[in-house]
A and B are shown apart, each in its own frame.
Chain A
Amino acid sequence: MSMKCKLLVIGAGPGGYVAAIRAGQLGIDTIIVESDRAGGTCLIRGCIPSKALIHAADKYAQFTAHNGKGHLGIKLSAKPELDFAKTIAWKEGIVNRLNSGVEALLKKAKVKQITGWAKFKDAKTCEVDTQGGIVTIMAEHVILANGSKAAELPFLPFGGDILSSTGALSLTKVPEKFVVVGAGYIGLELGIAYRKLGSEVTFIEADTKILSTYDKELTAPVQQWLNKHDVNVHLGAKASGWQDNKLSYKDKDGNEQKIAADKLLVTVGRRPNVKGWGLENMAVDMENGFIKIDKYCRTSMKNVWAIGDITGEPMLAHRASAQGEAVAEIIAGKKREFNPVAIAAVCFTDPEIIAVGISHDEAKADNIETIVGKFPLMANGRALTMEAAEGGGFVRITARADNHVILGIHAVGPHVSELSGEFALALEMGARLEDIAGTIHVHPTVTESFAEASLAALGHAIHI
Chain B
Amino acid sequence: MGQYFFKLPDLGEGIVEAEIAALHVKTGDMVTEDQPLIDMMTDKATVEIPSPVGGKILTINGKPGEMIAVGSAMVVFEVEGAGNQNRNENENSDAEVPAEPAVEAPTVKKENIPKESDVKPAVKPDVKSAPASISDSASGEKSDNPLASPAVRQRALEADIDLYRVPGSGPVGRITHQDLDDFIAAGGRISMPGKQKRTAIQEIPVIGIRRKIAERMELSKRSIPHYSYVEEVDVTEVEKLRCFLNENRTEDQPKLSILPFIMMATLKGMEKFPECNSHYDPEHNLVRRFSGVHLGIASQTPNGLMVPVVSHAETRDIWNMASEMMRVSSAARAGKAKREELSGSTVTITSLGKMGGIATTPVINYPEVCIIGVNKIVPRPMVINGTGIEIRQMMNLSSSFDHRVVDGFVAAELIQYIKGALEQPATLFM
By a beta-carbon cutoff of 8 Å, the part of chain A in contact with chain B is 217, 220-221, 334-337, 339-341, 364, 367-369, 371, 374, 376, 378-381, 384, 389, 392, 394, 400-405, 428-430, 432, 434-435, 459, 463-464
> Could you tell me if A432 and B172 are in contact, using CB atoms closer than 8 angstroms?
yes
Tell me which of B135, B145, B147 contacts A364 (CB under 8 A): B135
Assess whether B247 is interfacial by the CB under 8 Å rule: no
> Could you tell me if A401 and B137 are in contact, using CB atoms closer than 8 angstroms?
yes
> Could you tell me if A402 and B137 are in contact, using CB atoms closer than 8 angstroms?
yes
Tell me which of A340, A371, A389, A463 contacts B101 (CB under 8 A): A463
Which B80-124 residues sit within 8 Å CB-CB of chain A? 89, 92, 94, 96-102
> Could you tell me if A400 and B27 are in contact, using CB atoms closer than 8 angstroms?
no
Q: Report chain B residues within 8 Å CB of A432.
A: 171-172
> Could you tell me if B26 and A401 are in contact, using CB atoms closer than 8 angstroms?
yes
Complex: A394 Cα to B134 Cα, angstroms = 30
> Could you tell me if B137 and A384 are in contact, using CB atoms closer than 8 angstroms?
no
Partner-binding segment picked from B153-161, B263-271, B337-345: B153-161
Assess whether B70 is interfacial by the CB under 8 Å rule: no
Assess whether B148 is interfacial by the CB under 8 Å rule: yes
Tell me which of B102, B137, B148, B153 contacts A368 (CB under 8 A): B137
What residue of chain B has the Cβ atom nearest to residue A392's Cβ? B94
Taking the closest CB of chain B, its distance from the CB of A437, in whole angstroms, is 13
What residue of chain A has the Cβ atom nearest to residue B138's Cβ? A367
> Could you tell me if A341 and B145 are in contact, using CB atoms closer than 8 angstroms?
yes
Taking the closest CB of chain A, its distance from the CB of B226, in whole angstroms, is 43
Taking the closest CB of chain B, its distance from the CB of A381, in whole angstroms, is 7
**Would A459 and B148 be within 8 Å (CB), given that A367-B138, A369-B27, A401-B137 are in contact?**
no
**Would A428 and B135 be within 8 Å (CB), given that A379-B97, A384-B99, A394-B94 are in contact?**
no
What residue of chain A has the Cβ atom nearest to residue B170's Cβ? A430
Q: Report chain A residues within 8 Å CB of B145.
A: 341
> Could you tell me if A429 and B149 are in contact, using CB atoms closer than 8 angstroms?
yes
**Would A374 and B92 be within 8 Å (CB), given that A367-B138, A403-B172, A404-B172 are in contact?**
yes
> Could you tell me if B138 and A368 are in contact, using CB atoms closer than 8 angstroms?
yes
> Could you tell me if A335 and B157 are in contact, using CB atoms closer than 8 angstroms?
yes
What residue of chain B has the Cβ atom nearest to residue A341's Cβ? B145
Taking the closest CB of chain B, its distance from the CB of A415, in whole angstroms, is 17
Complex: A340 Cα to B100 Cα, angstroms = 38
Taking the closest CB of chain B, its distance from the CB of A61, in whole angstroms, is 22
Interface of A is mostly: loop
Q: Report chain B residues within 8 Å CB of A394.
A: 92, 94
> Could you tell me if B139 and A367 are in contact, using CB atoms closer than 8 angstroms?
no
What residue of chain B has the Cβ atom nearest to residue A434's Cβ? B171
Q: Report chain B residues within 8 Å CB of A464.
A: 89, 97, 101
Q: Report chain A residues within 8 Å CB of B61.
A: 459
Number of interface residues of B (CB under 8 A): 34
Assess whether B416 is interfacial by the CB under 8 Å rule: no
Complex: A428 Cα to B154 Cα, angstroms = 12
Assess whether B251 is interfacial by the CB under 8 Å rule: no
> Could you tell me if B94 and A430 are in contact, using CB atoms closer than 8 angstroms?
no
**Would A381 and B172 be within 8 Å (CB), given that A335-B157, A429-B149, A459-B61 are in contact?**
no
**Would A378 and B149 be within 8 Å (CB), given that A369-B135, A402-B137, A459-B61 are in contact?**
no
> Could you tell me if B99 and A405 are in contact, using CB atoms closer than 8 angstroms?
no
Q: Report chain A residues within 8 Å CB of B203.
A: none
Complex: A376 Cα to B171 Cα, angstroms = 28
Tell me which of A340, A369, A374, A384 contacts B28 (CB under 8 A): A369
Which B125-161 residues sit within 8 Å CB-CB of chain A? 134-140, 145, 147-150, 153-154, 157-158
Complex: A392 Cα to B94 Cα, angstroms = 5
Tell me which of B136, B153, B158, B171 contacts A339 (CB under 8 A): B153
Which B216-261 residues sit within 8 Å CB-CB of chain A? none
A-B CB proximity, top 10 nearest = A392-B94, A430-B147, A403-B172, A402-B139, A369-B137, A378-B97, A335-B158, A429-B149, A374-B92, A379-B97
What residue of chain A has the Cβ atom nearest to residue B62's Cβ? A459
Taking the closest CB of chain B, its distance from the CB of A379, in whole angstroms, is 5
Q: Report chain B residues within 8 Å CB of A459.
A: 59, 61
What residue of chain A has the Cβ atom nearest to residue B105's Cβ? A462
Q: Report chain A residues within 8 Å CB of B94.
A: 220-221, 376, 378, 392, 394
**Would A336 and B157 be within 8 Å (CB), given that A381-B99, A389-B99 are in contact?**
yes
Assess whether B289 is interfacial by the CB under 8 Å rule: no
> Could you tell me if A428 and B157 are in contact, using CB atoms closer than 8 angstroms?
no
> Could you tell me if A428 and B149 are in contact, using CB atoms closer than 8 angstroms?
yes
Complex: A394 Cα to B94 Cα, angstroms = 9
What residue of chain B has the Cβ atom nearest to residue A340's Cβ? B150
> Could you tell me if B157 and A337 are in contact, using CB atoms closer than 8 angstroms?
yes
Q: Report chain B residues within 8 Å CB of A430.
A: 147-149, 174
Q: Report chain A residues within 8 Å CB of B96.
A: 378
> Could you tell me if B99 and A379 are in contact, using CB atoms closer than 8 angstroms?
yes
Tell me which of B89, B100, B134 contacts A381 (CB under 8 A): B100
Q: Report chain A residues within 8 Å CB of B92.
A: 217, 374, 394
Taking the closest CB of chain B, its distance from the CB of A367, in whole angstroms, is 5
25 contacts between A and B (CB under 8 A): A221-B94, A334-B158, A335-B157, A335-B158, A339-B153, A340-B150, A341-B145, A368-B135, A369-B26, A374-B92, A376-B97, A378-B94, A378-B96, A379-B97, A392-B94, A400-B137, A401-B137, A405-B172, A428-B149, A429-B149, A430-B147, A430-B148, A430-B149, A432-B171, A434-B171
